Amino acid sequence: MTQKYTILFDLDGTLVDTAPDLMNAHNHVMKKYGYPTKSTNEIRNLIGQGAGALIGRSIWGQAKKEFHSVEDKKIKDQMSKDFVSFYGKNIINESTLIEGVSEFLRWCKAKNISMAVCTNKQEHLAVDLLKKIKIYDYFEYVAGSNTFDYCKPDPRHLTSVIEILDGNLKKSLMIGDSETDANCAKAASIPVILLENGYTEKNTNEIYHNHLIKDFIGIEKIVSTYLKDWFNFFYYY
């Protein structure tokens, strides 16, 4: 019986550098409501809990913290809607694939590895981005922040997808870029490969990980060790 391997990917900062387009959407809303804008690097630090959390942490949270003036829930909701609307229309203006992603996805497909995306981005935005950047067809499932009643760092965001794919926790791997991804994988008891310069406030060296990589170039060597270990485990046991 052929064993099935599963690799789960985060999206923002892992597969795609989305910070420039997220920054543009963020700054569009902040300008509209009269609040300060942020740089791309500042936006990267705010996406560590998922692109969806950027709305609350920066647009709403920052405005309330700095100006103590956004108290009306209707204004908060409208700012969030404006962000999603603008971002959805400009989702791939400046976003680019992380180096080596295309080659690695092709390698995984050739190895018959099941692949899925587990992101805290809203599902429809994640699917749209993946399609427009032309890697959607590699994935068997896309789970966003609103796919289930829970999302990362809840480990069920990963384990539910593995179950849907008829996979096995002992034959699964997570690739992400933030503390949220790492903690989620750790709680799910699956190994995690972490990108060095991810969307997170904390230094990646201080975040739990099994492997730390700069980009996807050469990652096949790391994943191959897991494929070998998985084969040996299930062959002998």
Burial label for 73, CB within 10 Å (0-12, 13-18, 19+), is exposed
Find, among 172, 154, 109, 165, the residue nearest to 135 by Cα.
Answer: 109
Where along the chain do the CATH 1.10.150 domains lie?
19-89
More confident residue, 232 or 152: 152
In 111-192, which ranges are continuous DSSP H helix? 123-132, 156-164, 179-187
Out of 10, 12, 21, 181, which one is annotated catalytic?
Answer: 10
| Listed residue (152, 88, 166, 168) closest to 117, CA to CA | 152
Residue identified by tokens 């994935």 is 139
- 10 is an active site residue: yes
Question: With 50 as the cut, is the pLDDT of residue 63 above it?
Answer: yes
**Rounded CA separation 168/154 (Å):** 18
Of the listed ranges 44-58, 155-169, 184-198, the least confidently predicted one is 44-58
- DSSP character for 98? P
Q: pLDDT exceeding 70 applies to what percent of the chain? A: 85
pTM exceeds 0.85, yes or no: yes
At 192, which helix (H) or strand (E)?
Answer: strand 192-195
Q: What is the mean pLDDT of residues 155-182?
A: 96
Task: Give the CB-side neighbour count of residue 53, counting CA atoms within 13 A.
Answer: 16
Would you say domain 19-89 falls under CATH 2.60.120? no
- Whether 60 has a pLDDT exceeding 70, the answer reads no
pLDDT recorded at residue 46? 81
Cβ neighbours of 233 (radius 10 Å) = 12
Query: What pLDDT sits at residue 49?
Result: 64
Please state the CATH superfamily assignment of the domain spanning residues 6-17+96-236 in this structure: HAD superfamily/HAD-like (3.40.50.1000)
Ranges in the chain annotated CATH 3.40.50.1000? 6-17+96-236
